[in-house]
Structure 1
Amino acid sequence: MHLSYCTNVHPAEDLAGVIEQLDTYAEPIRQRLGSDVLGLGLWLAAPAAAALADDPALRRRLRAELDARGLEVVTLNGFPYEAFQAPVVKHAVYHPDWTSRDRLDYTLDLVRVLADLMPESATYGSISTLPLAWRTPWDSSHESAARRNLDELAAVLEKSAGETGRTIKVGFEPEPGCVIENTTQAAALLGSVDTRWLGVCLDLAHLAVAWEQPAQALDRLAAAGVPVVKVQVSAALQADDPAAEGDVLQAYVEPRFLHQTRSSIGGATDNLDEALQQQLPGPWRIHYHVPLHALPSPPLSSTVPVLRQAVRELLARTDCEHYDVETYTWGVLPESQRPADAAGLADGIAAELAFAQELLTTEVSAR
C-alpha cells in the first residue's frame, strides 16, 4: 500500500518549479513525519509533462531529484491540465476533456513519465483523470469521440507494459456535475472499456457529496467489473442546518474553484454561492476539500465519517494500493484556517498524512 499527498496544491507549471516544490514542501513534510520515504501524488502541468516525455535525460534528472530527497512517485494526478492554482479555475479544469486529442496526448505523456519515475517495488502505477467531461455539452457524438480516445489509451497502456515491464492504470474520477458524477454512471459508462488498464479513481469527498453509501458504491462498481485503481483520501464540507449557518458558510465562498453543493433530499447547485442564494434545503454536502485532521469552522462539520467508512470498505472489498491525500484548497480556506506561509502549509499537509496513516494502519490491523 502506498500513501502520498497530491502536489496539485502547489502552483508549479514547469520542471524547475516542481523541483522547487520538493525542497520547499515535500522534503520538509517527510522530515516532519520522521519517514525514510514520502509518497507524492505528483501533478505535472501539460507543458512540463510534454517536456519530460520528450527527453529521457529530464526524466532521469527528476527521478534523481526525488531519490535524493527520499521521495517516491507511484501515482500522478492527470486531472488538471494546467494552471490549477490560477486566480480563477472553475470550469476550466474540465478542459480539454476526453473528446479531445489534447487530453489523450497529455495522458500519454504522463504514462511515459510515470514508467520512469516508479520505484521497482511498485506493483503498478496509476494516473487519475477527469470523468470524461463536464456534463454539458454531451451527446452521442461526444461519447463516441471519448470512447475512441479511451480505446487508444488502453492500447498504449498495454503496449507500454510490454515494452517497459511497468503496469500503469488510469482511473476516471467521478465528480459532481460531470458526465460521470457517481458510481452508478461510472458503472454504466466504464463497464465496457478495457478494465485491465482503465478503472476509477475514487475521491472520497466526491463520494460523500453525491450522498453515496460506500459499501453500495463499491458493490456497484464490482458488479460492472470496474476496478478502483486509486483512492483520493479527501473530506468535503458539511452543513447540517444551512439556513442557520449561512454566515459561516459565506466565509467559504471564493472565486477560484467550483464548490458543487448537494442536498440530502436531491437539490443541487454548481456552486456554494448559488446554494446560499437559492436557499437550497439542507443538509448540504459541499465539494470543498477541507483538512482531514481539523474541524471546519463551527458549527460546520466534514465528511470524515464517510471517509472512515469508505476506507474500511475499500480495504475489505478491493485490492487498490494507492491512497493519495488530496486537499488542494489550503490557499482558499477561510483566512483564520489558512496557512500563513510555506512552513504552515507543510505542517498542515504533514498532519493530514499522519491522520491518514493512522487511519489506514488501524483499519489494516483490525482486519
Structure 2
Amino acid sequence: MRLLHPGGSIVHLAYCTNVHPAEDLPGIHDQLSGSCARVRALLGVPLLGVGLWLSAGAARALLADRRELVRLRATLDANGLEVVTLNGFPYGGFQREVVKHRVYSPDWSSPERLSYTLDLAAILAALLPDDVAEGSISTLPLAWRTQGAPTALLGSLVEGLREVGERTGKTIRVAFEPEPGCVIETTAQAAELLPRDDLLGVCLDACHLAVGFEGLDFGDLPIVKLQASCALETPPGAQRALERFHEARFLHQTRCASGYADDLDEALARLPYEERWRTHFHMPLHAAPPPPLTTTAGYLGELLRAVLAAPLTRHIEVETYTWTVLPDQDVLGGIAAELAWMRRELAALGLKEL
C-alpha cells in the first residue's frame, strides 16, 4: 500500500513474507498468487506491498536465468502486488522446526553473506515498480555477539551497491537491524560500527528496540526501514503466564531492568519475577494476548510518531513472523488485520492512502 505523507512524500507499507515457508521459486510463485493475493483481497485494496523474503538458493536461481526475474515480476503484477523492500536477514530455513541461532549464519564475517546481499540488490532493482527509484534490504546486525564485530566486508558491500545503481538506475540501500544479543544491539552501536555512507543505515525493528527499552532519539543515524512489530510484555509477578510461549523454533531474548537472558527458558529460570519483562516474541499488532500479558503496541505507536514526523524513512514493513507458532490463529486473516491496524495508525498521523 502507498500512503501520502503530509510533507508530500510517498510512504510504502508492506508485510514481510518470511512468515510463509516457501524457499524455492515454484513455492514463491504459489505464495504470491495464493497467500499474498488472499491478504490483498481481505484488505480490499487494489495494490498490496510485500516485503519479499528470498532464500539464498531462490536468489541464485532468479539471477541464473533472466527469464525467472521477468516471470516473478509478472506474478507480482498479476496479483496486484509490489515490492520495494526485501528481508535479507535469514539466509535460509527460516520456517524449519528449529531456527534459534542459525538465523545469524552466515554472518557478516562471511563472503557468502556479502554475495547473498548483493544478489538481493540486483533482484530488487529489477522488481522495483517503474515509478519507484529506491529500494531497501534489511540484514542482520553484523553477527551474534560472540563473533566479534565483522565490518571488513562492508566496503565491498557499498561498492557492489553502487555498481547496481550505476547499471540499473535504481538506488538500493541496506539496513542493519539492531537486535538483543547481537554485535549491534542498539542504534548507538549501529552509529559507532557502521561506515557513514548514504547506502547504509539501520532497520528499526520496533519489537527489538522495545526489548532493549531504547529511547526514540536516533540522532543523524540514517533510518532506511522500519519494521512494525510488537514484543511480549509481562508485568511483575506474572511470569508463569509466559510458559506457554516457550517454543523450539525461534529465539526469544528477554530483558528486564536488572538482567537479560538469551531465551525464554533461561529467563524463566533466573531473571527476577518482581520486575517487568519484555520478550522478543513478535506479537500481533492489533490484538493483545490473554491477560495479564500485554504487548509493546504503545511503544510502536510512539516510534511511528517519532520516525514519521519528517518522515525519517519511507519503507514500513509489518513483520510478525511468529504466526506459525502462535496457537489457534487464522494466519492470513491476522496479517490482514495487522495491516488494517497499521493503516488506521498511519491515517491518525495524517497519512492518506493512495
TM-score, normalised with respect to structure 1: 0.91
Which residue, 142, 148, 163 being the options, matches 1:159? 163
Deviation at residue 331 of structure 1 after TM alignment:
1.1
Report if the CA contact (8 A) 2:33-2:75 is conserved. no
Which residue, 202, 207, 210 being the options, matches 2:209? 207
Report if the CA contact (8 A) 1:260-1:269 is conserved. yes
Deviation at residue 176 of structure 1 after TM alignment:
0.3
**1:146-225 → structure 2 map (5 Å cutoff):** 146-190=150-194, 193-214=195-216, 216=217, 218-219=218-219, 222=220
Counterpart of 1:364? 350
Counterpart of 2:7? none
Counterpart of 2:47? 37
Counterpart of 1:273? 265
Counterpart of 1:13? 23
Alignment length, in residue pairs?
A: 341
Counterpart of 1:227? 222
**Residues 105-154 of structure 1 deviation map (CA, whole Å, 9 limit, x = unaligned):** 1001101110110002224100000000000031xxxx4xx333111111
Q: Tell me which protein shows more helix as a share of its residues.
A: 1
| 165-174 vs 24-33, greater mean Cα deviation | 24-33
Counterpart of 2:4? none
Structure 2's unaligned 5+ residue stretches are 1-10
How many Å separate the matches in 1 of 2:48 and 2:351?
21
SS of the residue aligned with 2:303?
helix
Deviation at residue 280 of structure 1 after TM alignment:
2.8
Which letter does structure 1 place at the counterpart of 2:280?
H
**Residues 238-266 of structure 1 deviation map (CA, whole Å, 9 limit, x = unaligned):** 0011xx32332100000101100000x23
Deviation at residue 156 of structure 1 after TM alignment:
1.1
**Residues 207-236 of structure 1 deviation map (CA, whole Å, 9 limit, x = unaligned):** 10000122x2x23xx1xxx30000000000
Structure 1's unaligned 5+ residue stretches are none
Counterpart of 1:255? 248
Deviation at residue 319 of structure 1 after TM alignment:
3.2
1:24 equivalent in alignment to 2:34: yes
How many Å separate the matches in 2 of 1:134 and 1:296?
29
Deviation at residue 12 of structure 1 after TM alignment:
0.7
Which residue, 237, 260, 263 being the options, matches 2:232? 237
How many Å separate the matches in 1 of 2:351 and 2:95?
38
How many Å separate the matches in 2 of 1:157 and 1:106?
12
1:303 equivalent in alignment to 2:296: yes
SS of the residue aligned with 1:306?
helix
1:109 equivalent in alignment to 2:104: no
Deviation at residue 297 of structure 1 after TM alignment:
2.0
Which letter does structure 2 place at the counterpart of 1:358?
R
How many Å separate the matches in 1 of 2:342 and 2:226?
12
Which letter does structure 2 place at the counterpart of 1:330?
W
SS of the residue aligned with 2:251?
coil
Which letter does structure 2 place at the counterpart of 1:213?
G
Across the aligned residues of Structure 1 and Structure 2, the Cα RMSD in angstroms comes to 1.3
How many Å separate the matches in 1 of 2:110 and 2:264?
29
1:348 equivalent in alignment to 2:334: yes
How many Å separate the matches in 1 of 2:70 and 2:310?
37
Which letter does structure 2 place at the counterpart of 1:352?
E
- Which ranges of 4 or more aligned residues in structure 1 deviate by more than 4 Å? none
Deviation at residue 317 of structure 1 after TM alignment:
4.3
**Residues 266-309 of structure 1 deviation map (CA, whole Å, 9 limit, x = unaligned):** 31000111111114342101000000001112110000000000
SS of the residue aligned with 1:364?
coil
Identity of aligned residues (%): 52
How many Å separate the matches in 2 of 1:279 and 1:63?
49
How many Å separate the matches in 2 of 1:185 and 1:9?
28
Report if the CA contact (8 A) 1:76-1:110 is conserved. yes
How many Å separate the matches in 2 of 1:313 and 1:46?
34
Deviation at residue 363 of structure 1 after TM alignment:
0.8
**1:319-330 → structure 2 map (5 Å cutoff):** 319-330=312-323
